[in-house]
Structure 1
Amino acid sequence: MSVSGNTISGNKREWWRNSVIYQIYPRSFCDANGDGIGDLPGISRKLDYMQSLGVDAIWISPFFKSPMVDFGYDVSDYRDVDPLFGSLADFDQLIVAAHSRGLKVIIDQILSHTSDRHPWFEESRASRDNPRADWYVWTDAKADGTPPNNWVSNFGGCSWHWCTRRRQYYLANFLKEQPDLNLHNPQVQEQLLSDLKFWLEHGVDGFRLDAVNHLFHHQSLRDNPARPLQLDEKGLPPVNHYQYQWHVFDKSQPENLDFLHRVRQLMDQYPGTVTMGEVGDDNTHKIMAEYTTGDRLNMAYSFDLLTEESSAEFLRNTLEKNREVIEKGWPCWSISNHDVPRSITRWNKGFNAEQALARAPLFLLMQLTLRGSVCLYQGEELGLPEAEIAFEDLVDPYGINLWPAFKGRDGCRTPMPWFNSGEVNAGFSKVKPWLPVPEEHHRKAVSLQQDDAHSTLNQFRALIDWHRQLPPELATAQQEVVDTRNDLLVFCRRAENGEFLVALNLGKDEETFDLPVEFADAEDITPALFAGERRDGKLVLPLAGVRVLHRKKLS
């Protein structure tokens, strides 16, 4: 079992199994040059902090050249760093500094679309017969001038946008400034693979592939079928009309599998590198299983745990639905990221602030003990709640478009609070940052939690260190969820030479669980910070209580 540079998986080439990956949203992490926006030198400055957390890798959200309409997810140059974040030399220095600390570096890669200011698109829209005319998804209007079908954008509105130069529509599954690449064109595939190779040559250890199931569309351009509407508690339909359709023809096409195989062939030329795909679909579980089995993605994560729901029943059902990917592929569990409200707010409705804070390490332990890897979003280790952002301070076009029913993603993207020194910006920047730092985040700054043994920060550090010390057979042990029919989430992990039982109380009241006979005398390896006990053949767990038992099998 390795405890430095690798997780409990002993295979260095598969370091990503059971790894803890720390997601950095660079605009909000650390501002080194004092312009109010985080940057690559700022990340380098905080590498010791990330090393102190005990994580295995950092995932850096986009830093490529971009008009920043969608804050870097609209790329205008795949092979250079936007000046907001520094330079290519800064990135190279970051790689060296991270590797010297035993930290792997994963970067975001957006393969489904570019910015409308990318030179490829500027050439493509100039005419119907230029060398890149077919690099994007273009189509003629219907006879009445309307778009070719009923496809709608993830961010609301029609997916098709009129171009007066070509007198055709182009496809954009997100913002209109993010035209979709046409991966049915072999030249586009070759170019994207070449761009991946560029960063591999610069030393990256892998890629998080954004919206990876959006790479291909059905060339028939058939209408998506209607989806039965799920009304909210007020009896109203969804805010975003994207949810009015089953997305059968605009994403998750069979051609994706062939292209992901080509990506894997490239990655295999760089031993130890990894691909992690973001999958959002009506049938997420099936897609994740397909994408992570065989020679395709190493792992994938979905939006299954990025919802408002966090009950034991919901989690049992989700894990059961994910059985195929858990058994055959490899999931990466994420309960928070840059696209959804922070988990301590989202997953604690009905709990007071003290209870919510007590549940933060509970959910991290759940992630650490499930079969799979873990993504930890920056600030989660501090117990940061979702920030309330005034409309006049919003910058996210998603939120601006759907206000007031949906406030967008700014509330989870506010700057990291490093110091509670009375400064307006909590040590993030000396000038006004791109988003405000809420006052309640000042009170959770790293400087305040650093030396407090009972702080959320140090609880997270202790849990990650505990995870590193677990018996190595946990790395790939099979998983079985127990239907307790109460507020306990209980699952077993079974390997040839050892078994584990994990029980977590997700409710407000004390819960009990009858121990299976085989675990009656099992070793209790629960981290000390959790309450709970084994009594008369039962586990007795209070609110946020946990027990983890380990039973060695006799050979």
Structure 2
Amino acid sequence: MNAIMRDPAQSVVYQIYIKSFCDSNGDGIGDLPGITSKLDYLAYLGVDYLWITPFFPSPQRDNGYDVADYCAVDPVYGTMADFDELVAEARSRGIGIMLDMVLCHTSDQHEWFQRALAGEERFRRYYILRDGHGSIGPGDPGEPPTNWQCAFGGSAWQWEPRLGKWYLHLHDVSQPDLDWTNPEVREEMAKVVSFWRERGVAGFRFDVINLISKPEVFEDDTEGLGRRMFSDGPHVHEYLKELVERSGIDGMMTVGELAATDLENCVRYTNPAEHELGQVFSFHHLKVDYAGGDKWALAEPDIARLREIFASWQEGMQAGGGHNALFWCNHDQPRAITRFGGRGQVGKPGGSWDHVGKMLAVCTHLMQGVPYVFEGEELGQTNAGFASIDDVRDVESLNNYRILVEKGASEDEALEVIRERSRDNGRTPMQWTAGPAAGFTTGEPWIGVPENHELINVEAEQGRAGSMLEFYRGLIQMRHTLDVVSRGRVGFVEACESAPRAIVYERWLEGDAAAAARAAGQPVRLLVACSFDAEPCRVKPVRADGGVVALDGAEVLVDTYADDAVRVGEDSLELRPHEAVVLSLA
């Protein structure tokens, strides 16, 4: 039943946070029929796959990432018939459906955990249970087995008297981690993936998949909060190969979300010879505004560090045969436009909002890999600007607000951090119209709608020349049609001292691929220059070998200012504030 989709190298994926995309029945929560109703819009945008966040039955402690049943649809999102209709209607438009699989942990309401609580030894072995440190015997919890901290704040261990053990939860306390050393667990996970593949799913995104293999020995982390102890564990590659083989998904569109990973492992995860994953999400580039590496401490983005990260991952993955997923935004991140300075003249052409949004799009869409567009990103949606902590729904944000206040921050100071960092910034409703609730629902939305939906919305942008939406359509079309974008090599160049906040790289084709592109009238070598500076700068691109990139005869393919005023010299290029330019080199 699998649809035959576009080659992954030419593909663009659109992420849908189902709860906030489109509500079809007025209950204030997005659903599967709502997605189906917007397929014509997504086909207009030009995307090839839709990654949909979890819609499985769930108590919603972590907005669906706490799964209570892997092979059913939560009634709040629709029915299995609704899902089947979505798959069929998407396929008829040349779009494949990708599902979000949460295989590291379950909800504590899942039948398996409930049966473990009831004393069934088989299901106790599905989870990671340990005696406490310093426990003097049954019934005495002692202290948590290790000092590991969970992703949402606090200990990663929870004492459960009914189990007589501590259980590990690397995320919320309601999300006990599965024990992948148990072959029965691995078999169950393969059955889950196979179930959805057989229903016509075209691809999968695997949530925090590099955390499924825990260390052989559980011990304290003497250098941090534990993440390095359980990321990219000793059997993770073995488990992934087994999952891919048993579920029959080798060759399908797959991407893994990887927490605290490294380049070496990501090359291995995504090298086709390994038969593990198609691409990986790594998050190092989205920590360049963390003061001291702390997500909850604000700092201006370090663009020099951003450039280093992009260069090392683009060139490193290329050298090892690996593949990147390219992204700025998702359901776990604040909006990139706000993060990187797009606060001016929001919703209006020519402000920093417009320039930053288009520049960010060029920066990643022209790189080597598969671009991912998060719902509303193509419109230029911004952070929500929460007026009160009461407007926030996210468990991670609420936990860290409390922690910040406990550490001495005032409520206003803590709220300012949450405004900038909360995952709920990416979870506010998709902005379809300027009308009530942004056209997302006829009821009361589950989370508030930003006021700027009156300016930033599909209705205002679709078909309007120069809009953010139409700009994204153009970039997606470039990946579909230009071989140098979809298959070219990549190399980063220095931008010279006068442009310290510029990121500049080349894309090029070689050999037969270059000859074929020339014969088809396509460009063979591109220079991509992106300024993250609020002031003008002059880029003089110099390759790693010291050679200056000649710009004589260069043709402007893309300019985010779109005014035919790009100034290109023999060996330099002038960029205006937050401008991005793509040149076809002679």
Does residue 329 of the first structure (1) align with residue 329 of the second (2)?
A: no
Hey, what's the Cα distance between the residues in 1 that align with 2:538 and 2:455? Answer: 36
Residues 121 and 90 from structure 1, CA distance in 2 versus in 1: closer, same or farther, beyond 3 angstroms?
same
Tell me the amino acid that sits aligned with residue 509 of structure 2: A
Determine whether 1:437 maps to 2:449.
yes
- Note the 1:22-41 alignment, pairs <5 A: 22-41=14-33
Instruction: Give the one of 154, 176, 180 matched to 2:151.
Output: 154
| Distance (Å, rounded) in 1 between the aligned partners of 2:551 and 2:167 | 60
| CA gap 1:337/1:185 in 2 versus in 1, 3 angstroms | same
4+ residue stretches of structure 1 with deviation over 3 A?
A: 269-272, 307-312, 349-353, 514-519, 521-524, 527-531
Q: Distance in 2 between matches of 1:394 and 1:545?
A: 33
How far 1:522 moved relative to its partner? 4.2
| Cα distance, 1:303 vs structure 2 | 1.5
Displacement of 1:264 after TM fit?
Answer: 2.9
Partner letter of residue 437 of structure 1?
V
Deviation at 1:434, TM superposition (A): 0.4
- Residues 449 and 473 of structure 1, relative CA distance in 2, 3 Å threshold: closer
- Report % sequence identity: 34
* 3-state SS in 2 of match to 1:306: helix
Match of 1:303 among 283, 287, 293: 283
The answer to whether the aligner puts 1:292 opposite 2:307 as a matched pair is no
What is aligned with 1:171?
168
Q: Secondary structure at the match of 1:84?
A: helix
1:130-529 alignment runs, 5 A limit: 130-144=121-135, 145-227=142-224, 245=225, 247-266=227-246, 269-270=248-249, 273-281=252-260, 283-293=261-271, 294-307=274-287, 309=289, 310=301, 312-322=303-313, 323-327=315-319, 328-348=321-341, 353=346, 354-389=351-386, 390-403=388-401, 405=414, 406-407=417-418, 408-421=422-435, 423=436, 425-470=437-482, 472-484=483-495, 485=497, 486-496=500-510, 497=514, 498-514=524-540, 516=548, 519-526=551-558
Letter in 2 for 1:540: E
Question: Residue type matched to 1:329 in 2?
Answer: G
Pairwise CA distance, 1:105: 1.1
Alpha-carbon distance between aligned partners in 2 of 1:335 and 1:473, rounded to the nearest angstrom? 22
Structure 2 gap ranges (5+): 136-141, 290-300, 402-410, 515-523, 542-547
Describe the superposition over 1:34-70 as per-residue Cα deviations: whole angstroms up to 9, x where unpaired.
1110000000000111111111111101101111111
Residue 520 of structure 2 corresponds to none
CA contact under 8 A between 1:305 and 1:333: conserved in structure 2? no
Please tell me whether the aligned partners of residues 334 and 426 of structure 2 are also in contact (alpha carbons under 8 angstroms): yes
Q: Which structure dedicates a bigger proportion of its chain to helix?
A: 2
The answer on whether the counterparts of 2:278 and 2:323 sit within 8 Å (CA) in structure 1 is yes
Give me the whole-angstrom Cα distance separating, in 1, the residues matched to 2:343 and 2:337: 12
Residue type of the alignment partner of 1:131? R
8 Å CA contact 2:551, 2:568 repeated in 1: no
Letter of the 1:79 counterpart: C
Q: Is the 8 A contact 1:308 1:347 kept in 2?
A: no
User: Matches of 2:433 and 2:232 in 1, distance apart?
Assistant: 44
Give the Cα separation in 2 of the matches to 1:411 and 1:508. Answer: 23
SS in 1 for 2:90: helix
Decide whether the 8 Å contact of 1:65 with 1:75 is kept in 2.
yes
Distance 2:352 2:485 in 1: 30
The SS at the match of 2:486 is helix
Counterpart AA for 2:526? F
Q: What residue is the counterpart of 2:67 in the other structure?
A: 75
Q: Contact 2:355–2:579 at 8 Å: present in 1 too?
A: no
Deviation at 1:314, TM superposition (A): 2.5
| CA positional deviation for 1:160 | 0.7
Residues 351 and 116 of structure 1: is their aligned pair in 2 closer, same or farther, counting only changes over 3 Å?
same
Deviation at 1:529, TM superposition (A): 5.1
Could you tell me whether the CA contact under 8 Å between 1:116 and 1:178 is conserved in 2? yes
Number of equivalent positions: 519
How far 1:225 moved relative to its partner?
2.3
For 2:426 and 2:317, locate their aligned partners in 1 and report how far apart those are by CA, in whole Å. 28
Name the stretch that deviates more: 348-357 or 501-510: 348-357
Identify the range of structure 1 (396-405 vs 209-218) with the bigger mean alpha-carbon deviation.
396-405
Cα deviation for residue 533 of structure 1 reads 2.8
Distance across 2 between alignment mates of 1:548 and 1:190: 48
* 1:13/1:271 contact within 8 Å kept: no
CA distance in 2, matches of 1:465, 1:131: 52
| AA of the residue aligned to 1:520 | D
Deviation at 1:311, TM superposition (A): 5.1
Question: How many Å separate the matches in 2 of 1:524 and 1:534?
Answer: 9
1:85–1:512 Cα change, 3 Å: same
Shift of 1:523: 4.0
How far apart are the structure 1 equivalents of 2:490 and 2:132?
Answer: 51
Aligned AA (1:534): V
Shift in Å, 1:544 = 2.9
State the match for 1:230 in structure 2. none
Distance 1:32 1:500, change over 3 A: same
Q: Unmatched 5+ residue regions in structure 1?
A: 1-5, 7-11, 228-244
SS of alignment partner, residue 503 of structure 2: strand
How many Å separate the matches in 2 of 1:398 and 1:278? 18
Deviations 1:217-239 (A, max 9, x none): 11311111224xxxxxxxxxxxx
Calculate the aligned-residue CA RMSD, in Å.
2.2
Deviation of 1:451 after TM superposition, in Å, equals 3.9
Q: For residues 484 and 448 of structure 2, what CA distance do their matches in structure 1 show?
A: 45
